[in-house]
Structure 1
Amino acid sequence: MPVAAQSHGEEEVKDLGWNEPPSKIPGPLIKGLPNEELWVLIRRFNKQMYHVKEYPYPVPGNLDLNIADEEEFSPDKLRSNIERLYMTVIIGLMGFGKHLMRLRSWRETQRTAWFCTAYFVAWIFDFIVPLIAVTMITLIAYPPSRPFLFPPAPLALVDGSTGGVQKPKAGVLGSHDSATGAPENHKGEAVEAEASNFVNSIASVALSSVAGKHPQNDPPAEGSRVSDSVPDPTSIVTGALNAKETADGKNSSATHDKTKVPMETAMWTKMRPVMHVIGDVTDTWERFANALEPTPPFPQEAFRLRIAALVVPLLGMSLFVTSYMFMKGLTFGVGFGFFGDPVIQPGLEWLNRTFPHWQKLLELRNNILLGVPTNAQLTITLLRIGEVNKAPLPPPPQTSAPPPEKPAAITDEQLRAAGSGYPLNASPEELDQAMAHDPSVPHQTGGSDIDASKDTHHGKKGSKLLGFFKGAAKVSIEAAIGADHLKAKIGDEHSKNRLGAIPDNPEELKSGPVDFKCRYHGKSGHVYISTKATIPCVAFSTDSTIEKIGSNDREDLHPVWSIPIADVKELKKVGGFGWKAKLIVGWALDREVADGLEIVDRKGQTWTVTAMVLRDELFNRLIAIGGQKWEAW
């Protein structure tokens, strides 16, 4: 069967269904990867990538899009990294913990008995470490052993304290890989929503992250009535905290509290390295996952065998090293690390002089995991495959309707029995009851105190007051939008860049894969990508005929500007409004904000297109279509 994105050999770009429902998009788009899995990767890539710059040096493992050491910090990026941490590391650790509880519970008696027998036989003969090493090598090098030793079960269906069956926290088993089991329209949406709510729940620590504050992506906003007329949401919460301390008899102002400013400064200063560490941990986890379960076109066996080979010396050593020798060596290492500074420091100075970048060589991505992609690197590789074949990958489908409150289909891939018994040693009736919809379960808490703390009802008067403020904000925003139109007519550039940022009907602005509806200096038009010309380029034209007949192979468009794709050196996503205004627009108007994209060429010239609903899709095409190697900022 031909693969849609890998079998198109014509010169003209093929539309694989950019504005079509999922049922009309051919599958698979990429060989060996279901469309739903592909869309999960692209959807998360869009949230992760904000700003890229060309990287002019050779990249390790021929994989670009690594995180820059000087990566810009913003609370919104911190939020994105914490969400990635939840979706990969935390969900993975939760699954590991529930597998251990299933073994400990003895509910799956036959399986636990085999594990128990193997462990204590190895213990009697002092073969615990060799047993663990052999098991690890088997699990790494022979994938069919994984579901055999650890039969799969939906995460939300397993009780973390008993190892038995439980009713999912969402009240229905609507998804397989989420902690709550919440329903989803498309694969991966439930765990993505969980990650977002995970960050939202860390209110005090991630306050600015919850607000989505990302000043580097804000457009120049001097004179913006929308931005200037709304308060800073974070200052409201900070004011509430100060009011509480005042009510308790404390004066928390910076004049009286001399720790306030230095502590705030120290916390914000440390957020950048914290964000970088979270990103590195998540990237390493993703690399290990992609090494153990590679996605085409990456090698299917090489990475697994490389990691398994590293465990073989451990197996060999464990056959000869006694527990006494191990403890003796371990305690010597602890003592040398604690008291050996006079030897360690000169050694480090010698290393820094002789091998200036020796720390880089110790990073897993440059040795054990060399050539193994993160999810972002995997995604850009797949996007490039589509571009090489003149078949750009369509964007992930979006559904405005809520997901159905019904159990998701369960196959042997998601729920498997251990041995000859039932899955999780539960009867079919118990499983059906646990998976069935119960609307009362999501509201159940651990007691009345939690119920009281969780209650967010405003009451009738509070709701009326909130409605009044929402109405006032709506009137203020609409007035500011009207003022922007007037100021744009007299030549104000900032007002021009905000025109169309709140589209009346976003669906009408969808386009692609060649032409993208947007604005430039407030003028409506299309950014289009021309690949049939002698020099492939990206350009902007106000010609209205693009709407009907497109831009393919046309010489009559007379673009406002045109950039050779090979000359693009930097791409940056920018907001249609400032971050504060975007929050208020979403709350007061219940409307989508169309953002923009900043393109910088090798000469340092910058072009900013705005009011673009498919901004992420243009960004993805531009970073995938040229020969540049990128670094994430």
Structure 2
Amino acid sequence: MTSIFFGPAPQSGPVTFLHRTAPAINMSQETTGRGVVYEDLHPVNHPINDPIEQRQSQTLTTQTATSTQAAQNLTEEATASHALAQADHDEKGVAQLSHNAEVKDLGWNEPPSKIPAPLVGGMDNEELWVLVRRFNKQMYHVKEYPYPVPGNLDLNIADEDEFSPDKLRATIERLYMTVGLGMMGFIKQVGRLRSWRERNRTAYFAAAYFVAWLLDMLVPLFTVTLVVLIVYPPSRDVMFPPAPLALVDAKTGGVQKPKAGVLGSTDTATGAPEKHKGEAAEAEASNFVNSIASVALASASGKHPQTEPPPGQAGVADSIPDPTAIAMSASTAKTSAEGKAAAPTHDKTKVPMETAMWSKMRPIMHGLADVADTWERFANALSPTPPFPRELYRLRLAAVVVPLVAVSLLTSAYMFTKGVTFGIGFGFFGDPVIQPGLRWLNRTFPHWQKLLEIRNTLLKGVPTNAQLTITVLRIGEANKAPLPPPPHSKDPPPDQPVEITDEHLRATGADWPLNATQEELDEAMAHDPTTAHETAGADIDHSKDSKHGKKGHKLISFFKSTVKGTVETTLGADRLKAKAGSEPSKQRLGAVPKTKDYNIDGPVDFACRFHGKKGHTIISTKTAIPYVAFTLDKKVADQGSIGREEELHPVWTVPVADIKELKKVGGLGWKAKLVVGWALDREVADGMEIVSKTGEVFTITALPLRDELFNRLIAMGGQKWEAW
């Protein structure tokens, strides 16, 4: 049994707010309402016995509290991230300035042009929104981590990270945006050097290489160059001048027409246009995964020209949709149709192969995430982003490389070759020595592998992009100025070339960028609608196209309208079932909002539902102990909750410090969400679970600004989080 007291304040003293897992806390009279108690508040995914209205009339009780050892707020500086959020930085943004308001609204419902800049010192608003947008897609589920964190930074990925296909997709997209685009940039820089188009720069590189080769100084040359690139960032643009990825031909090193037909962005492989920085790269990553899935599906279904009838003789095939386009797995049907195998129920390899593949998915996903994390850490070490130190990590990397210069000067090629070949032989034949040594290490130093991980040694304290993002979010919360969410726009970006400056395209010395004239550059960057459809041949065209035929399109349209009617009927039935007391139906109410005008919420009040009842989740930071609560007060939509705390009578209240777990949940099942999105062309409002330290689960649903509420809650308290 749990009691949460929210009682009236005596005129002569403070009000007592008691919770089972926290010490007695004093709250000011301004933030309390009339006496309300909520006993036996069941987790919302369980059937409930009492309606919400009845809980608001129960008698006041109190219970003894037990203390916890976890940090209760940001000021306790549980990690370096918490400390940086509290630090007084020399370069400040609007969110870091002092103010007298309880919560300062920096433009949550304003267009980007009206949001003050910069929000955080040393960071452009567009760069900040890129981080937050990708953070929203990466973070699904976090739990409080009560132990010391690696590198003194929380929000590391748990070793037991839960696997889901959607999370695997997000990981692959993240890998594309980090490692994929980074490797493309490296390959195109090599192509520019080898092409001799920028003659002076290539000549300098060639002269330095061959002189060092003659003097047997290649390794010292490479290590010294690496040290210079690490320690002195301006040298990077001199040695490797920037150029838009999509504008450079990797084979010739010269100018090419971007695959999108226009140079609308500078950091993408296709050059597709974007309305906000980073959106084109994110769309590219999504389509990269879609294309892999499409090719795999086409391969599984046996799509091949030999199975297609001659042109003009399609007959019934013209009325049948392409199975790859409607995303059906046709591998079994293909096998049965060809008569080359036994019935699927007699296939003895199916179950073990499927089991083996799905069992390996979690370690594969975790490995991909580790690769992306390491790449991001190196990037943030070489080019630190405030509020993290600008020089510390670069100097540490250089300190590791500098000794290699001395070693390379004292080591001959013969000694190097002998050492490498000995290492190969020892690794191959030295198992009788290696295995006992490993057993001794495991026995003497448990978890020694963790201590030697690069994030705990060379890159200790260097954040991933997710850790950088939560630090920036904590800066806003520490100053009671929550950062506005990334702007959203349904309008397509214009097919206009992006403005190119020296920051995006330049050459070294007297060379022309890419050895191209201004007219050639303008022609390559200008919009050409036919370029995006060009392929490498007719066979690629045939395999890529999804042909439905005229009758096939009509069939799909009819099927879509039928599904739309079914979905609307089901949603209507849910409302009736919810009134009859069906808990699953209550959880689905409002999941498909009729309107998209929900941007009036935040940063304090968030429209949502609890057990199907319309209300608002509110966050209060006016007291010493910030808390999150749910209220049914209808006036919140128009008047807000600030200054009206006594009138709200919350259904439940949880101190932010007592939250031990946050999890994003779907408003509908994933299959239903796909069907609703396809048939109704409407967004689905998802939900979130808040788990307290007593184990109570509060599930709020139909929450359009779920990501924004999630971000505020994980950034407000002193918890050390772990990503699941």
TM-score range, shorter chain: over 0.9
In the other structure, the counterpart of 2:278 is 188
Give CA-to-partner distance per residue, 1:241-265, whole Å, 9 cap, x none: 1111222222364333211110011
Q: Which stretch has the larger CA shift, 421-430 or 278-287?
A: 421-430
Contact 1:254 1:261 in 2 (8 A): no
In the other structure, the counterpart of 2:686 is 595
Contact 2:92 2:120 in 1 (8 A): no
Give CA-to-partner distance per residue, 1:317-362, whole Å, 9 cap, x none: 1001111111111111111111111111110011011100100011
Kindly indicate whether residue 696 of structure 2 is the aligned counterpart of residue 605 of structure 1.
Answer: yes
In the other structure, the counterpart of 1:215 is none
In the other structure, the counterpart of 1:511 is 601
Alignment gaps of 5+ in structure 1: 208-232
Kindly indicate whether residue 94 of structure 2 is the aligned counterpart of residue 4 of structure 1.
Answer: yes
Of 377, 395, 403, the residue aligned with 2:467 is 377
Structure 2 vs 1, CA of residues 477 and 143 (structure 1 numbering), >3 Å: closer, same or farther? same
The alpha carbon displacement at 1:238 in A equals 5.9
Rg bigger for which structure?
2
The alpha carbon displacement at 1:534 in A equals 3.7
Kindly indicate whether residue 414 of structure 2 is the aligned counterpart of residue 414 of structure 1.
Answer: no
Kindly indicate whether residue 337 of structure 2 is the aligned counterpart of residue 247 of structure 1.
Answer: yes
Distance in 1 separating the partners of 2:325 and 2:536: 32
Contact 2:324 2:546 in 1 (8 A): no
The alpha carbon displacement at 1:3 in A equals 1.9
The alpha carbon displacement at 1:476 in A equals 0.6
Structure 2 vs 1, CA of residues 454 and 248 (structure 1 numbering), >3 Å: closer, same or farther? same
Give CA-to-partner distance per residue, 1:380-407, whole Å, 9 cap, x none: 0000000000000010001111000000
Distance in 2 separating the partners of 1:588 and 1:545: 34
In the other structure, the counterpart of 2:423 is 333
Kindly indicate whether residue 629 of structure 2 is the aligned counterpart of residue 539 of structure 1.
Answer: yes
Distance in 1 separating the partners of 2:294 and 2:343: 19
TM-score of the two chains, using structure 1 as the length reference: 0.94
Contact 1:171 1:442 in 2 (8 A): yes
Of 114, 118, 125, the residue aligned with 2:208 is 118
Kindly indicate whether residue 706 of structure 2 is the aligned counterpart of residue 619 of structure 1.
Answer: no
Kindly indicate whether residue 177 of structure 2 is the aligned counterpart of residue 87 of structure 1.
Answer: yes
In the other structure, the counterpart of 1:56 is 146
Give CA-to-partner distance per residue, 1:207-252, whole Å, 9 cap, x none: 7xxxxxxxxxxxxxxxxxxxxxxxxx99985641111122222236
The alpha carbon displacement at 1:536 in A equals 1.2
Divergent runs of 4+, >3 A: 204-207, 233-239
Structure 2 vs 1, CA of residues 588 and 558 (structure 1 numbering), >3 Å: closer, same or farther? same
Give CA-to-partner distance per residue, 1:127-178, whole Å, 9 cap, x none: 0000000010000110000000000000000001111000000000000100
Distance in 1 separating the partners of 2:508 and 2:549: 51
| SS in structure 1 at match of 2:162 | coil
Structure 2 vs 1, CA of residues 23 and 235 (structure 1 numbering), >3 Å: closer, same or farther? closer
Contact 1:11 1:532 in 2 (8 A): no
Contact 1:10 1:390 in 2 (8 A): no
Contact 1:509 1:517 in 2 (8 A): no
Kindly indicate whether residue 443 of structure 2 is the aligned counterpart of residue 360 of structure 1.
Answer: no
Kindly indicate whether residue 538 of structure 2 is the aligned counterpart of residue 448 of structure 1.
Answer: yes
The alpha carbon displacement at 1:2 in A equals 6.1
Kindly indicate whether residue 210 of structure 2 is the aligned counterpart of residue 139 of structure 1.
Answer: no
Q: Percent identity?
A: 71
Structure 2 vs 1, CA of residues 10 and 60 (structure 1 numbering), >3 Å: closer, same or farther? farther
Kindly indicate whether residue 722 of structure 2 is the aligned counterpart of residue 631 of structure 1.
Answer: yes
1:426 partner letter: A
Contact 1:3 1:30 in 2 (8 A): yes
Kindly indicate whether residue 561 of structure 2 is the aligned counterpart of residue 475 of structure 1.
Answer: no
Kindly indicate whether residue 687 of structure 2 is the aligned counterpart of residue 585 of structure 1.
Answer: no
1:557 partner letter: L
The alpha carbon displacement at 1:308 in A equals 1.0
| SS in structure 2 at match of 1:507 | coil
Distance in 2 separating the partners of 1:375 and 1:205: 31
| SS in structure 1 at match of 2:486 | coil
| SS in structure 2 at match of 1:533 | coil
Kindly indicate whether residue 660 of structure 2 is the aligned counterpart of residue 569 of structure 1.
Answer: yes
In the other structure, the counterpart of 2:106 is 16
Distance in 1 separating the partners of 2:487 and 2:234: 32
| SS in structure 1 at match of 2:598 | helix
The alpha carbon displacement at 1:458 in A equals 1.6
The alpha carbon displacement at 1:464 in A equals 0.3
The alpha carbon displacement at 1:59 in A equals 1.3
In the other structure, the counterpart of 1:558 is 649
Structure 2 vs 1, CA of residues 237 and 512 (structure 1 numbering), >3 Å: closer, same or farther? closer
1:21 partner letter: P
Kindly indicate whether residue 551 of structure 2 is the aligned counterpart of residue 461 of structure 1.
Answer: yes
Q: Which stretch has the larger CA shift, 415-424 or 170-179?
A: 415-424
2:686 partner letter: D
Distance in 1 separating the partners of 2:565 and 2:483: 40
In the other structure, the counterpart of 1:521 is 611
Kindly indicate whether residue 409 of structure 2 is the aligned counterpart of residue 319 of structure 1.
Answer: yes
TM-score of the two chains, using structure 2 as the length reference: 0.83
In the other structure, the counterpart of 2:126 is 36
Kindly indicate whether residue 131 of structure 2 is the aligned counterpart of residue 66 of structure 1.
Answer: no
Give matches, 1:233-244, under 5 Å.
Answer: 239-244=329-334
Give CA-to-partner distance per residue, 1:14-35, whole Å, 9 cap, x none: 1111111000000000101000
Distance in 2 separating the partners of 1:85 and 1:314: 30
Distance in 2 separating the partners of 1:555 and 1:137: 62
Q: Which stretch has the larger CA shift, 147-156 or 528-537?
A: 528-537
Kindly indicate whether residue 406 of structure 2 is the aligned counterpart of residue 310 of structure 1.
Answer: no
Structure 2 vs 1, CA of residues 323 and 619 (structure 1 numbering), >3 Å: closer, same or farther? same
Q: Which stretch has the larger CA shift, 255-264 or 375-384?
A: 255-264
2:696 partner letter: Q
Q: How many residues matched?
A: 609
Structure 2 vs 1, CA of residues 428 and 237 (structure 1 numbering), >3 Å: closer, same or farther? closer
Distance in 1 separating the partners of 2:324 and 2:577: 30
1:10 partner letter: N
The alpha carbon displacement at 1:509 in A equals 5.8
The alpha carbon displacement at 1:204 in A equals 6.5
1:628 partner letter: Q
Distance in 2 separating the partners of 1:52 and 1:161: 45
| SS in structure 2 at match of 1:31 | coil
Give CA-to-partner distance per residue, 1:526-574, whole Å, 9 cap, x none: 0000111242100000101111221113212100000010000000000
Kindly indicate whether residue 374 of structure 2 is the aligned counterpart of residue 284 of structure 1.
Answer: yes
Structure 2 vs 1, CA of residues 320 and 279 (structure 1 numbering), >3 Å: closer, same or farther? same
In the other structure, the counterpart of 2:351 is 261
Alignment gaps of 5+ in structure 2: 1-90, 298-322
Kindly indicate whether residue 574 of structure 2 is the aligned counterpart of residue 484 of structure 1.
Answer: yes
| SS in structure 2 at match of 1:555 | helix
1:32 partner letter: G
1:612 partner letter: L
Structure 2 vs 1, CA of residues 104 and 296 (structure 1 numbering), >3 Å: closer, same or farther? same
Distance in 1 separating the partners of 2:575 and 2:174: 39
Distance in 1 separating the partners of 2:328 and 2:117: 50
Distance in 2 separating the partners of 1:252 and 1:504: 49
1:583 partner letter: L
Structure 2 vs 1, CA of residues 164 and 283 (structure 1 numbering), >3 Å: closer, same or farther? same
Distance in 2 separating the partners of 1:510 and 1:483: 29
2:210 partner letter: F
Distance in 2 separating the partners of 1:527 and 1:303: 41
Contact 1:541 1:560 in 2 (8 A): yes
Structure 2 vs 1, CA of residues 50 and 205 (structure 1 numbering), >3 Å: closer, same or farther? farther
